[in-house]
Every structure is written in C-alpha cells, then in structure tokens.
Amino acid sequence: MTEERHAHQGLPEFHQHGPDHDLSRARVVKKTKIFVVVLLLLLGFGLAKTLFTRWSYGDVLAQRAEQNTLMHVLVTKPAPPAATGPHTRLVLPGTLLGIHEAQIYSRVNGYVKQWLKDIGDTAKKGETLAILDIPEINKQVEEATANFQLAKTAFERWKRLRAEDAVSQQELDEKTALFRQTEAVLKRLRDLQSFGTVVAPFDGTITRRNVNMGDLVNAGNVGTAQAMFSMANVDKLHVYVYLPQDRVGQIKVGDEVLITQNSAPDKPVKGVIARTAGAIDAITRSLQVDIEIPNEGRVLMPGAYIEATLKIATGKQLIIPTNALIFGAGGPFVATVKDNKILKKKVSLGIDYGLQVEVRSGLTTDEDIVLNPLDSITDGQVVKIETPPKRP
C-alpha cells in the first residue's frame, strides 16, 4: 500500500471527502456520460443505416422474392438423328455358317472298310470320302441278278413263241411283267450297292470325321444313325441374324453389313443382305435375315461368333432425351415452354436408344421441351428458361 493510500486508509481517491476528492469524482462521472452518449450515437447511426438500406433496396428484394417463386428450367429442342450417329447402326449377334453345310450319313448298313478324307481336307463334288463293306446288299444283288437273267431268258423265249402263235398273248404279258419286275428290283439293289461308296455332295472342306476303320454304320439320319462326316463350303459364308419387329422397315435386301469378331474388332469384313424370311416369327417377333459374306483367304471360319452391324434408315423421326419424358395415366408426355408458360403434350414413342428415345408424333423441331420436369408440373405454370454456362 502506497503512502498516499495509507494516508487515505486504503480508500480510492474519489471515495474520499473534501474539495479535491469531489473534483476527482466529477471527472469520472463526466467521462462515463461522454462514453454512453458516443455509444448511443453509434447504435443510432447503425440502425438508421440499416433502415435506409432496407428502404432503398425494397424494390430489389421484392423483385428477387418474385423471381424465387418462378420455376427455373433447362430446355432443349427435338432433333432428327445424326447422319453418322449411333441411331444409324444396329448391332446383332450371330454365328457364321458355310454357304453350304452338310452332315453326311450312310444310305446303307455296313462296316467302314476305308476312309479317304480327314478333317481339314478339301474334297470335290463326287470325290470318294469312304468305302463301306456291305455284304448283305452284295448278296441281294447276286440273287436279283440271277432272277433277272432267268426272267429275261423266259421273256425272250415266250416272245419268239408268240411270234409263231404258239402261246397266247396273256402268257406273254405275264412273262413280260415278271421280266420288268426283276429288272426294277435289280436296279434298286444296284443303286443301294453304289451307296457303299460315300462321296462328297459338293466342293468343300471336311470339318468333322466321326468314323474309323471297322466301325458299323447305320443307314439314314434318324434313330441311332451317326453322321460319318461333316462338310462345309467356306469360300463364302453366311450368317442368320434376327431383326426386331419395329426395325423391319429400316433395312432392305442389298444393304451392306459390317461383320466383326471380338478377336479383331478393328478389321471388319463387308457382307450384304442376301434375303429375308419375308414374315415375322410369331414366337420371337423378329425377322430372320440372311447375310452373305465373301471369305477370300478364308479369314473367317464357320462356327465363329460375330457381330453384324446393319445400317439403319432412320427416316424423319425426331430424337429427344429420355429425361424429358413424363409418364402418367394417359401415357408419355413432355412439358413444352411457350411464352414462358408450360404446355404439356402427349407423344407417341418409337425406338428407345437408352439415353435418347424416338418420337413418332406429337412434337416439332421448333418446340422447347423441359429437361428433368417435375411430376407436379401443370399446364399454364409460369417458368423461366435458364441458359447453362458454356463449357470452357
């Protein structure tokens, strides 16, 4: 405690009595009043400035409040499909086939005596593929030959006797019929005997051999019969693809088709639509299309999986984004903007391309359609069209 505070018995200076002490207290009170007045002046100035600002920006605030009540929308216009866009192509899967393919069966029962062609070998039409041992047919041919010779001798003898009028015409007719019958039986058996030599039905390549020496083969292609060989002509290939019903009018015979394989997607081979089935399959609701492909150098192989890219005639249909559609009880709609007001229009849809869809009727190219419309959007609702910023 200082000497002065000790002299004042520890009390502050302005708590003391006397003229000097009263003057000190008055000084403190005066400073306090000045501080309070300055503070009140500052608060009043701030309040006045705030009120003035609100009053001066009242119109702007009212305008912004009005704008906030409007719906801001982005719009686009329907457009025809691009000449080289994804809408002009249709990719369909398929399996390559030889232009001629055949499963070769035996026409007679027998054992494989010799096979002359293996897989990968080429064969000309009529060239021998295998020789069969057919003892039963051979015995039947011998028997039929003997019967034929006997009937022929009898026929010639009775023919001479008839010329001498030694026998009746009835007897000659019976001998003649027997001769013709044995001749037909012999011809049929000799034809069967010729089937013991299995030959190629056309020029091609052996793609499968299912027999070995000594195998028993059965006649026909039903039951337990087994194909002896498989052949294919691979100089030209073809593939069947199945076109959806709604695309039938977009192709025609003679159109060019690109054939690609997964192993060489950058090396397409050109083909051509050779023919169509001419009728829609009632089960799959698709049209069978036959595409022929030249196979120079035998780059493509039968049995390979390919993708056929068909060029599609798009016509005059319009394309819109799928996120512009509104689906309701009455069907699909779009919300158009006219004079900054909403006008809903019903549309008829065509082919769905995923992010885009074809519109067959209900729109024109000069209309603005709303993107991502709300389900609650109504006719006559006032909107404001926004322009998205351009990408740098």
Are residues 341 and 299 located together in one domain of the fold? no
- Same-domain pairing of 298 and 329: no
User: CA-to-CA distance for 236 and 241, rounded, in angstroms?
Assistant: 17
Q: Which of 276, 311, 346 is the last residue of a domain?
A: 311
Domain range for 335 is 72-83+316-385
Beta bridge partners of 196: none
Both 211 and 113 in one domain: the answer is yes
pLDDT of residue 38: 81
How many residues appear in the chain? 392
**pLDDT score of 127:** 93
Among 311, 333, 360, the domain boundary falls at 311
* Residue 224 maps to a domain: no
What are the residue ranges in the chain where pLDDT is below 50? 1, 5-8, 11, 14
Q: Say whether both 352 and 377 belong to one domain.
A: yes
Confidence (pLDDT) at 129: 94
- Summarised one tens digit per residue, pLDDT across range 80-107 is 877 666 667 888 999 999 999 999 999 8
- Domain termination site, one of 184, 217, 250: 217
Residues 61, 300 contacting (CB under 8 angstroms):
no
Number of domains in the chain: 4
- pTM exceeds 0.75: no
Q: What is the CATH number of the domain that holds 344?
A: 2.40.420.20
Residue 3: predicted pLDDT: 52
Q: What is the predicted pLDDT for the residue at 162?
A: 83
**Any idea what the CATH number is for the domain that residue 275 is in?**
2.40.30.170
Which DSSP helix (H) or strand (E) runs through 86? none
What pLDDT, on the 0 to 100 scale, is given for residue 22?
A: 61
Q: Does 287 map to a domain?
A: yes
Q: What percent of the chain shows pLDDT beyond 70?
A: 85
DSSP 306-346: EEEEEE---TT-EEEEGGGEEEETTEEEEEEEETTEEEEEE
Please answer whether residues 123 and 203 qualify as being in contact, where contact means their C-beta atoms are separated by less than 8 angstroms: yes
